[in-house]
Chains A and B, each alone.
Chain A
Amino acid sequence: MKKFFAIVLVLVLIVAAAGCGGNATEQLDAPAPTTDSTAQVMPEGDSGDKQLVVGLSMSDDTQFLSNVRKAAEKKANELGIQLIPNSGQNQVEKQINDMEAFITMGVDAIIFNPLDRNAMDEIVDKVKAAGIPLVEVNTFTSNENYDVYVGSPEEDAGRIQGEWIRKNLGDSGNLVIMYGQMGHSGQIGRYEGLKQALLDPCPEWNVLVEKTGEWKRELGQSMMEDWLLTYPDQIDVVASQNDEMAMGALAALEAAGKLDDIKVLGIDASPDAVALVSEGQLALTVFQDSFTQGSTAVEVAVGLLNGETYPKVVDIPFREVNPDNAEEFYAMLKEWE
């Protein structure tokens, strides 16, 4: 009796799970105009041309990356293809598993946002061995066997920060750097740009301390609090590799009453950061066009399947967001939501 009950329970569970998966024929007749991605691969049925299926493997679900994904989903709907998004949730192994699943499913193309520059080399080779077009977006692997990389050259973001510092604060001073996750192509590239634009030409700029905040706001805040105590009245500017950490730093500065003394720079131009630039709290942020990255990646993937050719790297330029253009940026960002 107990066993019977248990089996019934199991069947209910599985049916419930399948119910969440959607219905094959439903999806086929009406390409879903929503961002619900419960589509099944290879929908069966007799409606003629098979719909293209593209797997999207994101590294994580941060606000920035969610924007990339949403833009990709929107473009996929416009083009009438099925997009299957998966998130590695910041775990390398999970993202590798996600990619292997895509290969097994036999998707037509894969858009890949690698969590780590070095750990994903093997999976790139596996995808290419299976003959699947591979587009990397926002971050890239050291294994260059992908077909196209759609992204913003990270060095540019660092360079824009470096140039702003030079222009507005002169050729000398004290700087602190907040890094993203170490090993991330963004962390590496943005530092390179900052170094080229500021640290190399101006040896009078002194890096007091540099540490990783892992892209996280709470770490940016706690680091800033500590640095304020360790280097009282010495810091001129905080170069943060993303907005989240920068906003954490601002929170610490506000609490310490130091908002006017220290300039904070971020990268990403998330809506709240842009609002802070308008208000004058955040000195600068750099817009990384997550939306165009996402939609272009889908365009390129579909284009490759249709036989079009692209350069190896499709550059989506970074744009500076300063108090002059902040309001206009904010309006544009709001439009996208």
Chain B
Amino acid sequence: MISLKALKPGRFNWKEFLIRRMMIILLGIMIVFIAINRPVFLTTDNLLNVLRQIAVNAVIAYGMTFVIITGGIELSVGSVVALSGCVTAGMMKYYGMPIPAAIAIGLLMAGIAGFVNGAIIAGFKVPPFVITMATQTICRGFAYVFTDGRPIVELPKLFLRIGRGKVGGEAGFLPWPVLIMLMIMAVMCLLLYKTKFGRYIFAVGGNEDAARVSGINTKKVKIIAYTLCGLLAGIAGILLSSRIDAGQPQAGVAYETDAIAATVIGGTSLSGGVGSMYGTMVGAIIIGVVNNGLNLLAINQYYQMIVKGMIIAFAVIVDTFASKKYK
């Protein structure tokens, strides 16, 4: 039995609102605690560092949010990150392409990867978990084949500005990755909350049969969702490779975990139909704050893993509580 509220996306329903508040409260408590113990946490430098450090994950998570709202999952994003980074790097270094063209090709590869996922899932009705697990290895394989196993290094200096520069050049303040992350979030919010497509995403996730029966082309919606996810992973891959000045075939391993975590912490339900782009942003920030805070507090790195996992578990438990109550 689903609630009507789940079928009326675009407005904040109870569940979303409550959960989002819960996570923001958690975030607030963490920030206060860390700031009391390590005032340096609140310096602009550190806060910008945190935002810059989460940019890659946040961008991937935005795409993941679309996919999870449709009731699916995307495990190959980490490999797409590697593939797009390597292809872009290779185009610039070995084929002498200008940066925009190289980026376009990298994104094209990422989009194709996403499209293939979506097409197989929509067309053959294979469980997304299984198929994206397969494309995860296939994509990474392509990355290794393309680079012959070696990282592609020493990329054009201008390209590195994307991951390392600030808006306004040397004297600037806002790192480019942060601006890119915010711009993409704005676009994704528009897409999810203000367009027909966005409403269809919620519909398909809430009840696929009802959606199909009411005239929505569920296959098309899914394919677009997965392609979008691939594209965003591609952008993340380019951000990453410009940050580390390398197209590495081994990059992005396990990045899907953090992306899913951000999405889930943000209130998007793994069973589909409900989700929030703002929530995903909050989720990504929580992960970044946890990583940064635990580092600053010099907590033993192995405990860091445990704490991070506990927070994710907590978020999922809260999510399940609330969806039982509000669905």
- A contact residues vs B (CB 8 Å cutoff): 2-3, 6-7, 9-11, 13-14, 17-18, 20-21, 36-41, 84-87, 91-93, 96-98, 100-101, 104-106, 116, 118-122, 181-183, 212
Contact residue among B29, B45, B248, B321 (Cβ-Cβ distance under 8 Å from A14): B29
- CB contacts under 8 Å to A, within B226-255, are 240, 243-246, 248, 250-251, 253
* Chain A residue at minimum C-beta to C-beta distance from B292: A101
**Residue among B25, B29, B295, B296 with the most chain A CB within 10 A?**
B295
Q: Is the Cβ of B300 less than 8 Å from the Cβ of A17? A: no
Give CA–CA (A85, B304) in the complex, Å. Answer: 13
**A-contact bits for B146-168, CB 8 A (1 contact / 0 none):** 00011101100000100010000
Asked if B195 CB lies within 8 Å of chain A CBs, one says: no
Q: Report the separation of the CA atoms of residues A182 and B314 in the bound assembly, to the nearest whole angstrom.
A: 39
Cβ of B145 under 8 Å from chain A: no
Cβ of B95 to closest chain A Cβ, rounded Å? 20
A91 proximity list for chain B (CB < 8 A): 253
Apart from the given pairs A18-B33, A38-B299, A118-B246, 5 other A-B contacts in the complex at a CB distance below 8 Å: A10-B26, A21-B299, A104-B43, A183-B151, A183-B246
Contact of A92 among B22, B149, B160, B248 (CB under 8 A): B248
Q: Is B296 a contact of A38 with CB atoms below 8 Å?
A: no
13 CB < 8 A contacts A-B:
A41-B298, A84-B298, A86-B295, A86-B301, A92-B248, A104-B45, A105-B296, A106-B40, A116-B248, A118-B245, A119-B245, A121-B245, A183-B246
User: A17, A36, A39, A116 — which one has the most chain B CB atoms within 10 A of its CB?
Assistant: A17
CB distance from B94 to the nearest CB of A (A): 16
Within 8 Å CB of A17, what residues of B?
294, 299, 303, 307
CB contacts (< 8 Å) of A37 on chain B: these are 298, 300
What B residues does A121 contact at CB under 8 A?
245
B29 in contact with A21 (CB, 8 Å):
no
- A97: which B residues are within 8 A, CB to CB? 53, 291-292, 295
Asked whether A7 and B25 contact (CB < 8 A) given A104-B45, A122-B245, the answer is: yes
Complex Cα–Cα for A84 and B153 (A): 30
Give the distance in Å from the alpha carbon of A10 to the alpha carbon of B30 in the complex.
9
Residues on the A chain within 8 Å of B151, using CB? 116, 118-119, 182-183
Q: How far is the CA of A105 from the CA of B151 in the complex (A)?
A: 31
Closest-CB distance, A276 to chain B (whole angstroms): 28
CA distance A212 to B249 in the complex (A): 13
Docked complex Cα distance between A36 and B300 (Å): 8
Distance between Cα atoms of A272 and B283 in the complex (Å): 45
Report A53 CB to chain B, min CB distance, Å. Answer: 9
CB distance from A108 to the nearest CB of B (A): 13
A36 to B299, CA, bound (A): 10
Known: A17-B294, A106-B40. A10 touches B25 (CB 8 A): yes
In B282-327, the 8 Å CB interface with A consists of 291-292, 294-301, 303, 307, 310-311, 314, 318, 321
Contact B49 A100 (CB under 8 A): yes
Do A38 and B49 have beta carbons less than 8 Å apart?
A: no
* B interface size (C-beta, 8 A): 49
Q: Are B297 and A21 in contact (CB under 8 A)?
A: yes
Q: Which residues of B contact A93 (CB under 8 A)?
A: 53, 56, 240, 243-244, 251
Q: Give the Cβ gap from B52 to chain A, nearest Cβ, in Å.
A: 9
> Nearest-CB distance from B240 to chain A (Å)?
7
CB–CB B29/A11 < 8 A: yes
Q: Is B295 touching A39 in the complex (CB atoms < 8 A)?
A: no
For the complex, what is the distance from the CA of A18 to the CA of B294, rounded to whole Å?
Answer: 9
Q: Separation in Å of the A87 CB from the closest CB of chain B?
A: 6
The reply to whether A14 and B30 form a contact with Cβ atoms under 8 Å apart is yes
Q: Which of B245, B248, B294, B318 contacts A6 (CB 8 A)?
A: B318
Contact partner, B300, options A10, A18, A38, Cβ 8 Å: A38
1/0 per residue, CB under 8 A from A, across B250-271: the answer is 1101000000000000000000
Q: Give the residues in chain B near A10, CB-CB below 8 Å.
A: 25-26, 29, 314
- Give the chain A neighbours of B300 by CB distance below 8 A: 20-21, 36-38
List of B residues within 8 angstroms of A104 by Cβ = 40, 43, 45-46, 49, 296
Let me know if A183 and B318 touch, CB within 8 A.
no
- Check if A122 sits within 8 Å of B164, measured CB to CB: yes
Once bound together, how far apart are the Cα atoms of A249 and B318, in whole Å? 49
**Bound complex: CA A18 to CA B43 (Å):** 21
For A41, what are the chain B residues with a Cβ–Cβ distance below 8 Å? Answer: 38, 296, 298
**Is B303 in contact with A92, judged by CB distance below 8 angstroms?**
no
CA distance A314 to B25 in the complex (A): 51
Given A20-B300, A40-B297, A86-B301, check contact A119 B40 (CB 8 Å).
Answer: no
B298 near A183: Cβ-Cβ < 8 Å: no
Q: Kindly state the separation between the CA atoms of A206 and B297 in the bound complex, as whole angstroms.
A: 54
Contact, CB under 8 Å: B244 / A13: no
